[in-house]
Amino acid sequence: MKRLKNIGIKLTPTVFFMIILMSWQYIVDRGIVARYILPSPLDIIITTFRILPELKPHIITTLEEAFTGFFIAILLAIILAVLMDSFSLIKRAFYPLFIVSQTIPIIVLLPLLIMWFGFDKLPKIIVVILVCFFPIVVNLLEGLESIDRDMLNLFKSMKANYFQIFKFAKFPAALTSFFSGLKIAATYSVMGAVIGEWMGGKDGLGVYMTRVRQSFALDKVFSAIVIIILLSLILFKTIELIQYLTMPWIRENK
């Protein structure tokens, strides 16, 4: 019964999604909404396969920007989370700044980044870093601070130094929160790169979307959106797989 219930839970979103797609296809086929305003799912799929060779260099550029910014954000987040966990003064100084930084719309910063760093990949990478950094550092910091105090006292009573406490107690306790932040940031990374590309550039899915939108080729716009969704999902599932492999104890709880 439990297995059937789990299958039902997994199938529910799939069935719901298929109903939406079929309804969408029906509405367009019946002419309720014109195709030039809203392409049908079938039109989008056909267009996606047709323009895939054309999209390849744009996909590569966007992935390069997303991956570079994502990994830099991870590195910075780990360093700052550890420092803030170790020194309360650093946390009191930096944490409010992180909160304030999230209230500034990225779209406002983009023109400044373009003026400072040009139309190359660097402004897009900075955008990815800005959108990915916050969820990683906040989740990791909360994970580091959530360690059981009794366990912490036990390590201290055994004369464990800071690095031993961090390696064997704090970081394992923070892994769940850390991966939660990574999964959120992973979905933001591709989106951040695309938003950065909207301001201009030579290649990238955001640049491509801007060009085809100006020519009113909405089927190609939707195809680019499908590619962005797929890339984000692949990155999200990759993080999930890494979490599954590095945290064997979560397999036992499933």
Q: Are 152 and 169 in contact, with CB atoms under 8 Å apart?
A: yes
63 and 14, same domain (yes or no): no
Q: Is residue 38 part of a domain?
A: no
Q: Is residue 90 part of a domain?
A: yes
Q: Return all residues near 82 (Cβ < 8 A) that are at least 6 apart.
A: 144, 166
Q: Identify residue 58 by its one-letter amino acid code.
A: H
Q: Give the chain's radius of gyration (CA, Å).
A: 22
Q: Is residue 48 part of a domain?
A: yes
Q: Return all residues near 145 (Cβ < 8 A) that are at least 6 apart.
A: 85
11 and 74, same domain (yes or no): no
Give CA–CA dist 153/179, Å, rounded: 26
φ and ψ of 223, to 5 deg: -65, -45
61 and 28, same domain (yes or no): no
Q: Give the CB-side neighbour count of residue 64, counting CA atoms within 13 A.
A: 13
Domain count, the chain: 2
Give CA–CA dist 202/226, Å, rounded: 21
φ and ψ of 82, to 5 deg: -65, -45
Q: Is residue 232 part of a domain?
A: yes
Give the residue from 65, 110, 76 showing the smallest Cα distance to 231.
Answer: 65
Q: Is residue 207 part of a domain?
A: yes
134 and 226, same domain (yes or no): yes
Q: Identify residue 1 by its one-letter amino acid code.
A: M
162 and 88, same domain (yes or no): yes
- What torsion, rounded to 10 degrees, do the Cα atoms 205, 211, 215, 218 define? 20
Does residue 232 sit in helix, strand or coil?
Answer: helix
Give the residue from 249, 62, 73 showing the smallest Cα distance to 173.
Answer: 249
Q: What is the pLDDT of residue 251?
A: 62
Q: Is residue 119 part of a domain?
A: yes
Q: Return all residues near 76 (Cβ < 8 A) that are at least 6 apart.
A: 129, 133, 137
11 and 116, same domain (yes or no): no
28 and 48, same domain (yes or no): no
**Residue-range definition of the domain harbouring residue 84:** 43-252
21 and 108, same domain (yes or no): no
Q: Is residue 29 part of a domain?
A: yes
8 and 128, same domain (yes or no): no
131 and 25, same domain (yes or no): no
- For the entire predicted model, the pTM comes to 0.84
Q: Are 232 and 83 in contact, with CB atoms under 8 Å apart?
A: no
Instruction: Write the CA distances from 223 to 81, 216, 231, 237, integer angstroms.
Output: 38, 13, 12, 21
Q: Is residue 14 part of a domain?
A: yes
DSSP 77: H
Give CA–CA dist 83/34, Å, rounded: 56
10 and 89, same domain (yes or no): no
Instruction: Write the CA distances from 240 to 34, 143, 162, 245, 246, integer angstroms.
Output: 40, 18, 29, 9, 10
9 and 107, same domain (yes or no): no
- Please give the chain's pLDDT, 254 residues, in tens: 555 555 556 677 778 888 888 888 888 888 888 888 888 889 889 998 998 888 899 999 999 999 999 999 999 999 998 888 888 888 888 888 888 877 877 877 888 888 888 778 888 999 999 889 889 998 998 888 877 777 777 777 777 777 777 777 788 888 888 999 999 999 889 998 998 888 777 888 888 888 888 778 888 899 999 999 999 999 999 998 988 888 776 665 55
Q: What CATH number does residue 243 fall under?
A: 1.10.3720.10
